[in-house]
Amino acid sequence: MNAQAVEHVDHDDHHHGPAKGWMRWLTTTNHKDIGSLYLWFSLIMFFIGGIMALVIRAELFQPGLQLVDPGFFNQMTTMHALVMIFLALMPAFVGLANWMIPIMIGAPDMALPRMNNWSFWILPFASIMLLSTLFVDGGAPAGGWTMYPPLVLQTGAAFPMLIFAVHLLGISSIMGSINIIATIMNMRAPGMTYMKMPLFVWTWFITAYLLIATMPVLAGAVTMLLTDKYFATSFFSAAGGGDPVMFQHIFWFFGHPEVYILILPAFGIVSQIIPTFARKQLFGYSSMVYATASIAFLSFIVWAHHMFTVGLPVSAELFFMFATMLIAVPTGVKVFNWVSTMWKGSMTFETPMLFSIGFVIMFTIGGFSGLMLALTPVDFQYHDTYFVVAHFHYVLVPGAIFSVMAAAYYWLPKWTGHMYDEKLGKFHFWMSTIFVNILFFPQHFVGLAGMPRRIPDYAVQFADFNAISSIGAFGFGLSQLLFAYIMIKAVRSGKKATDQVWDGAEGLEWTLSSPPPYHSFSTQPIVK
């Protein structure tokens, strides 16, 4: 990849190639380099989090305790969530933002290149701190990623490491978000008005605001946990006049916007890809922008739907139920817009399009189970069962993760100048789609039948569906090795991609060469 970039810019005296050697990656301030670092980092973490998931599914293959002891099982569920959310999915989206936002809005780089370098290089240290808790006294955090007190306060030596890792990850994403907002507000090419920005840029713009507004709240909450444990404060200790339920309020005030942080950029990606392969303009561009903003606003007033069973008064249960159901309206606008974009389009089904269509269908399944969970009376039954697990994995795996894969297939030829193997890509899509449904669909059934989540053992009547689910998990996990193989193969030996890559693609990034020069848009393009 870097050889390509150097070769390309050799003929142009105004451009400088990257520095030589490994120090290039440590000191780089180039948005393309940093984007690539984020993406590779996230791919590695995706596999680490995936191995943890497979430990969970292997244990749950049969009822009874076979492979790991319950304490370690709890560490796996907690770490799987933390790794996948904070180390795999969020960095993947930030990596895509780094690569794509400047070349989509005609900017030469991110607004704050040095801070960009910092945002990334905090991540490996935070992740080492978090992952090394697996080897400390008392093991890794095991109280769930939500870190509810008083349970989380029983964590051993891992506790302060968990808190400081969360702090560092928060600082990283806040710096990344400020950079993204500053880039979008100040560095758009002439003529690139807000309502002409590609939707990926729009969704990230809104996501970045969600991040700077909510990550500090999480940082505050975990700091309170830290002082409760070591400095005798009583924020969440009832004996000292505090209240553990208050942690849940503060946590979910962050936590609910966080789930939109994990899905809004996915909406943006899919809104870029579907018009390309349907060869039509995106249906309802401005309604997409307003729907995204509405979802972001609503995300701040629905947090207590995670807490229907803590003993809220009826009026609060009703308010949070209706506010939550209201989110289905802007989300529905988006789904109908994607479908309308495809309607009567000249569609072709290359791998990115397959992943995007898969996203629309399977994300919607997750959306529907979300609507069921929004209903307070039925949530009393579904709360903390596998139905919830099935719900959020449908929106996050064939939802958010599929969108990242769609993005990787869609833009990889632009990034590297090499096409991936289309046959293998399609094979990867079908394997992933079949196995992800075998993995998560049966979890709806065991959840409705009452199987609790975060439990290493279960009643025998759940055995068959759990065995099916575990088979799906291993199939899905193995399919992702194929993804890594396809990506590496494309980077190393894929056939040459054209500058346009996809014949229906529109936008500034496609006016650049494939791969783009190390420094692109040093002269601002004019957008008409």
Q: Which residues bind other proteins (CB under 8 A)?
A: 111-112, 174, 178, 181-182, 185-186, 212-221, 224, 235, 238-241, 243, 245-246, 249-250, 253, 313
Q: Considering the complex, what minimum distance in angstroms separates the CB of residue 15 from other proteins?
A: 22
Closer Cβ to other proteins, 246 or 339, answer by number: 246
Identified catalytic residue from 145, 204, 338, 502: 145
Q: Considering the complex, what minimum distance in angstroms separates the CB of residue 224 from other proteins?
A: 8
Q: What are phi and psi of 385, to 5 degrees?
A: -110, 175
CB burial string 306-330: b at 16+ within 10 A, e below? bbbeeebeeeebebbbebbebbeeb
Identified catalytic residue from 127, 203, 324, 331: 331
In contact, 487 and 78? CB cutoff 8 Å: no
Q: What are phi and psi of 452, to 5 degrees?
A: -75, 150
Known catalytic residue at 80: yes
User: What Cα–Cα distance (Å) separates residue 287 from each residue in 223, 263, 293, 294, 334?
Assistant: 39, 17, 10, 10, 8
Q: Considering the complex, what minimum distance in angstroms separates the CB of residue 30 from other proteins?
A: 19
Q: What are phi and psi of 496, to 5 degrees?
A: -60, 135
Residue 385 pairs with which residues in a beta bridge? 452
Identified catalytic residue from 133, 172, 183, 469: 172
Known catalytic residue at 305: yes
Known catalytic residue at 519: no
Closer Cβ to other proteins, 112 or 263, answer by number: 112
The number of C-alpha atoms within 13 Å of 110 and in the hemisphere containing its C-beta is: 31
Q: Considering the complex, what minimum distance in angstroms separates the CB of residue 246 from other proteins?
A: 5
Q: Name 121's Cβ contacts closer than 8 Å, sequence gap at least 6.
A: 26
Q: Which residue matches tokens 């942690």?
A: 247
Known catalytic residue at 172: yes
Closer Cβ to other proteins, 101 or 270, answer by number: 101
164: nearest Cα among 133, 215, 124, 130: 130
Known catalytic residue at 453: yes
Q: Considering the complex, what minimum distance in angstroms separates the CB of residue 182 from other proteins?
A: 6
Q: Considering the complex, what minimum distance in angstroms separates the CB of residue 265 from other proteins?
A: 19
Q: Considering the complex, what minimum distance in angstroms separates the CB of residue 221 from other proteins?
A: 6
Q: Which residue matches tokens 């909406």?
A: 267
Q: Considering the complex, what minimum distance in angstroms separates the CB of residue 507 from other proteins?
A: 24
Tell me: cis bond preceding 515? Omega within 30 of 0 counts.
yes
Closer Cβ to other proteins, 211 or 374, answer by number: 211
For residue 311, give both structure tokens.
């003993």
For residue 377, give both structure tokens.
């009376």
Known catalytic residue at 271: yes
Known catalytic residue at 109: yes
177: nearest Cα among 132, 154, 213, 208: 208
Identified catalytic residue from 59, 258, 379, 509: 258
Q: Name 349's Cβ contacts closer than 8 Å, sequence gap at least 6.
A: 277, 357, 426
Known catalytic residue at 258: yes
365: nearest Cα among 455, 282, 419, 437: 437
The number of C-alpha atoms within 13 Å of 23 and in the hemisphere containing its C-beta is: 2
Residue 418 pairs with which residues in a beta bridge? 496
Identified catalytic residue from 57, 334, 391, 418: 334
Known catalytic residue at 15: no
Known catalytic residue at 119: no
Residues acting as catalytic residues: 80, 109, 145, 172-173, 256, 258, 260, 271, 305-306, 331, 334, 453
